[in-house]
Structure 1
Amino acid sequence: MQAPSAFEKRLQEAHGRQDLTTCLTLLRYADFACPVTDAAARGDERIAWPTFLGADRVWVVVYTSAEAMREATGDAVRHFRVLSLVELAAGWPDPRWGLAVNPGLEPSFLLEPGTVARLAVPTLEQDLAAEPDSGIPIVQKLLEVAQLQELLAGEQPRISGYCHHALDVAHIATPSVLADALLQEDALTAEGAVNLLRWPAIGLELYRTPYGGTDEGGRLAMAGWVIEEPPFAGMGLVPNATETIREYKIDGIGLPHGAEIVELAADGKERTQARYDADHGRWLMVADA
């Protein structure tokens, strides 16, 4: 393949010297051309994942550029949508499917689903290793009213279930939009607000990225550790194809000093309701809340 871009030239060079680590790093941050049929481009049919059946699994097809796509298809495919790896992961159709990058060209790559998930959504430990100056990540959990009352009443609270990366929803200032993005509409209060438990993720190994599937076969295909009921996607993201929100599974972790309960009101303003005093094992209500 003639390299039509600087990115593809770097990818070719890394592949030529058999530097798989660099290849995967380049692919992690790439934008891909995902083929779209003429009918879908006209709006006559729904956009579907372009696939082919291999010897052991179905493969989703993407290319590293529009030029690569046209070269591989003999100019038969003209339309495409641009997707990053994390956007591909957010809408991933099946935990058993893999990703074929540049099939029919050189270089090309076949990435198993577990590889796609781990490239698209690294663990918190890997994130910090890649960007050591980024500091301790902040995570948060949407609370239903009953959970809020239980949290405030308990001593030395421990948190289990799922939380998400606060940075990924920092742009959302509307409670209903946030609840919809996290598929937690029942967290809305009668006043149209949501309550958030927010805290620094101290002890990153306790915040495990939930790779897996909805059954044992899906878990094995993803080389993961979690089995959950649908709509769980097993790619380390909230199962909402229109969002890219990283989530983490936690099991009985203690809250650190300074954890906060924050109300995001219907007017879009955040109001801190309480802060956790780990020294005394109690919540301190904020006077102006």
Structure 2
Amino acid sequence: MQPTGQWRPATATEDALLRAVADDDRDRYFGVLAGVNLLVLVRPVDDGAVADPDWATRVDDGRVSLVAFTSRAAMAVHGSTRPHVILDLAQLAGLWPDPDWGLMVNPGLPIASRLPGWLVARLGSGEPPDLGPEPAPAPVAGPDFRPANLTEQALVDAVREDDSLQFLKIVAGATVLVAVEPATPPDAAPGDHDFAWRIVDHGEPSVLVFTSAEALAERLGPGATAIRAPMSDVLHNWPPGPVSLVVNAGSPIAVRLPADRVAILAARVFDVADLCLPSPAPAAPVLLQKVLAHTQVPLFLDDGHGRVGGVFHHVDDVAALSIPELAALPGFAPLDWITDPEEGSIHVIRWPAFCPQLYRPVAGPEPLSLVGFGVLLPHRAQLLRIWPDGYESLVGEYDARERCWQPERGPATDPYRGDLRDGYVATWDGEDYLAWPAADGVHLGAALAAGPDMDRPGHPVKLDELDALRYRRTTGVWRGERFVVIGAHGDWLRLELDRDEPGLGAELGLEEFDHRVFQTWAARADVDVTEELVGESFSFFD
């Protein structure tokens, strides 16, 4: 089957699947599926929550199949609004309901496939699909080195191209083998009390991780004890102290990160589920969600409010949770804060997290929480209503150029925007432009420098066509604390506290604008103001 139609891959995983379909490479296709999380549809129970999975199925030619998607975007194209659980093939195989059933992946899309139950079990166990003769991998990075999987082949390509950023993106998105002490239980995970890190002397105290069992055995021997875990989990549960990270020690695709750079990687790569396989183009930004206080919905829809602050979550981490389960998350707003008192529904905003440096991970249990303050929403962010039974309805999309919500809402004048120059800035063909990033690409506005901009494309630009995408914002220090400047009116500035510390807002006498979000007006003369660009390129290599 050849890829056709208007559908476009939303993630690096879908891009890899599409390329495998175009090359008619079944082994590569199923190898991609073996390493990713899937959104598997389930039926809601009466209270809207998902308990033990009651699988949603479809029947084609008498064959029963579970239904799964590789992204929420793929689910939306299919038109599905069902609840779902997020599982990889190993987890799904452990819950498999009937050996005669199959798995339908991305139905209706050019990357669709149906896997029989036995193949789900085989791929979930880490075994190759064994669908036919497997060509021997070409020697790379030296005559004695052969990549064991797609991840290692991608690392080889990054080494050949001297692309350190792509190398680390691939590592950060991979599932790795972490060397641990022999006493570690086989079902332990990073962050568990019985997960015993194996700290070795590699010039300095270091943790060793490997991208394949072959690389592990080559360095530590066939009997070495290791735990398989997503690299994101490893980073967010990193052992205390000055501990370095060594990837594929002794291999041509090895890299060492000092402890301070491990911390930077953990802080910036807060969600890499869509980076577990390589793509020549930047991976699609992860989708974030904020639940609104029910009293603030008119502020967004009627007043054109387009900023978010406080606690956010990755949509895929919370999509299967009921409304009471959302409210029960650590640090979350109380149930009566977010629910409509008459309907019991909630409103959420979802948007792609361009410039992920705007969001900081919060230490705590899963699912991962993020905080950010005073962030302008990107173009076409969505405001949705979620009913107690899990049904979602679209209320409106944010027009970042007009700063209003569509449809049915006319342009709203922001009386406090003042002389702020905040928003996204894209560098294209060496020039900086005002930008409105969206799911369909980055829309470019006027050039920031004086002069004609007649060469500016009139259509949205793909991320990989840009030199950079950054976020320009104004910050200020007032009473010794850092704030994001979110508005201006005459000689006064509207400030939002850029810190999530219990009790600090009340101590400073600030208004609690939202749950864990504190704002105030301050005289412009009393604020030490700075304009900054967030999202500069960075490298983790010396």
Q: TM-score, normalized by length of structure 2?
A: 0.35
CA RMSD of aligned residues (A): 4.5
Aligned match of 1:227: none
Give 1:59 shift: 3.1
In structure 2, C-alpha distance between the alignment counterparts of 1:82 and 1:68, rounded to whole Å: 13
* Contact kept in structure 1, 2:312 and 2:371, CA below 8 Å: yes
1:209 maps onto 2:358 in alignment: yes
**What is the CA deviation profile of residues 126-154 of structure 1, one whole-angstrom value per residue up to 9, with x for unaligned ones?**
x9x615xx6x97543123xxx43255368
- Equivalent of 1:188 in 317, 329, 335: 335
**Larger relative CO (CA 8 A, sep 6+): 1 or 2?**
1
Q: Which amino acid aligns with 1:41?
A: P
> In 1, distance between residues paired with 2:163 and 2:286?
31
| Farther-moved stretch of structure 1 (272-281 vs 60-69) | 272-281
User: Which whole-Å CA distance do the structure 2 matches of 1:33 and 1:95 have between them?
Assistant: 21
* Structure 2 residue 282 is the aligned partner of structure 1 residue 130: yes
Q: Following the alignment from structure 1 to structure 2, what is the Cα–Cα distance between the partners of residues 201 and 42? A: 36
Unaligned runs of at least 5 residues, structure 2: 1-143, 273-278, 398-404, 415-542
Contact 2:158–2:167, Cα closer than 8 Å, also in 1: yes
Matched residue, 1:32? 176
Distance 1:43 1:55 in 2: 30
In 2, are the aligned partners of 1:161 and 1:251 still within 8 Å (CA)?
yes
Q: CA deviation at 1:99?
A: 2.1
Give the deviation of 1:272 after TM superposition: 6.3
Q: In structure 2, how many angstroms separate the alpha carbons of the residues matched to 1:158 and 1:19?
A: 36
Which structure dedicates a bigger proportion of its chain to strand? 2
Q: Deviations over 1:87-119 (max 9, x none)?
A: 323434459644211234444211221245445
Given that 1:262 and 1:274 are in contact with CA atoms closer than 8 Å, whether structure 2 keeps it comes out as no
Match of 1:249 in 2: 372
Q: Give 1:198 shift.
A: 1.0
Q: Which has the larger helix fraction?
A: 1
Identity of aligned residues (%): 18
Per the alignment, residue 260 of structure 1 pairs with: 383
For 1:279, the aligned partner's letter is P
How many pairs align?
239
Amino acid in structure 1 at the alignment position of 2:346: N
In structure 1, runs of 5+ residues without a counterpart are 211-235, 283-289
Distance 1:194 1:105, change over 3 A: farther
- Matched with 1:102 is 248
- Partners of 2:182 and 2:394 lie apart in 1 by 51
Shift of the 178–97 alpha-carbon distance from structure 1 to 2, 3 Å rule, reads: farther
> In the superposition, relative to structure 1, how do residues 259 and 163 fare at CA in structure 2: closer, same or farther (>3 Å)?
farther
CA distance in 2, matches of 1:254, 1:120: 19
Kept in 1, the 8 Å contact 2:267–2:361? The answer is no
Contact 2:181 2:197 in 1 (8 A): no
The corresponding residue for 2:222 is 75
Q: Residues 172-208 of structure 1, C-alpha deviation per residue, up to 9 Å, x if partnerless?
A: 141243345x534443239896734315469x45x74
Q: How is 1:37-186 mapped onto 2 (pairs within 5 angstroms)? A: 37-41=181-185, 46-52=194-200, 58-78=205-225, 80-94=226-240, 97-111=243-257, 112-113=261-262, 114-118=264-268, 121=271, 130-131=282-283, 139-143=288-292, 147-150=293-296, 152=298, 155-157=303-305, 159-162=307-310, 164=312, 167-169=315-317, 171-180=319-328, 183-186=330-333
Cα offset, 1:166, TM superposition: 5.5
How many Å separate the matches in 1 of 2:198 and 2:218?
Answer: 16
